[in-house]
Structure 1
Amino acid sequence: MISKICRTFLVLVSKEPLDTSRFLVFCNVMRRLNFKIKLATKLNEMETSIASLGAIGEKT
Structure 2
Amino acid sequence: MPLSGEAIRMMNYVDDVSVTLRRVMALSSSLTPEERKRVSDYLRQAEPSVDKVLAVLEQK
> TM-score band, normalised by the shorter chain?
0.3 to 0.5
Q: TM-score, normalised by structure 1?
A: 0.45
When Rg is computed on C-alpha atoms for both structures, the one with the higher figure is 1
Task: Please report the TM-score for the alignment, with normalisation by the length of structure 2.
Answer: 0.45
User: Normalized per residue, which structure has more helix?
Assistant: 1
